[in-house]
Amino acid sequence: MQNLSNGHGARPHEAVDAVVVAGLLIMAVQTLVSREINPAYPSVVTIGKVEAGSAGNVIAEEATLQGTIHTTNLEVQNYLLDGLKRIATAVGELHNARGEQRDFLKSGKNE
């Protein structure tokens, strides 16, 4: 079995689909606040921009996600950043994909 980075839509078994990986990552990130952060510390993680693919019949080899973190507590903000890295690593391993985290946009402390 060959594992290429991108491929034709008719041969998905030969590719790692960045759109599928990005979709799973977006869904998994939603559990960070809802299942890991005490509600006493208001927090929001938003993935507000997703770019992937070049044509409808080509499996995307790359996806770019952009988002923000808003929280009222610096310790929670750091926990969320670590959680994003943890989830991204796990999703990448699950799909035999590799990624790179550049910067996640962090807000200042919300009051």
Tens of pLDDT, residues 13-26? 888 889 999 999 99
Residue 18 CB burial class (10 angstroms; 0-12, 13-18, ≥19): buried
Q: Is 79 domain-assigned?
A: yes
Residue 88 belongs to a domain with what CATH number?
Answer: 3.30.70.360
Annotate 58-81 with b (16+ C-beta within 10 A) or e (fewer): ebbbbbebebebbbebeebbebbb
Residue by residue, pLDDT tens for the chain (111 residues) are: 334 467 777 888 888 889 999 999 999 999 999 999 999 999 999 999 999 999 988 899 899 999 999 999 999 999 999 999 999 999 999 998 887 766 655 555 544
Q: Is 97 domain-assigned?
A: yes
Q: Is 1 domain-assigned?
A: no
> How many domains does the chain divide into?
1
User: Residue 67 belongs to what domain range?
Assistant: 7-106
What's the pTM value of the predicted model, to 2 decimals? 0.81
Beta-bridge partner residues of 59: 7
Q: Is 111 domain-assigned?
A: no
Q: Is 30 domain-assigned?
A: yes
Check residue 41 and report its DSSP letter.
Answer: S
Q: Is 85 domain-assigned?
A: yes
24's tokens: 């799973």
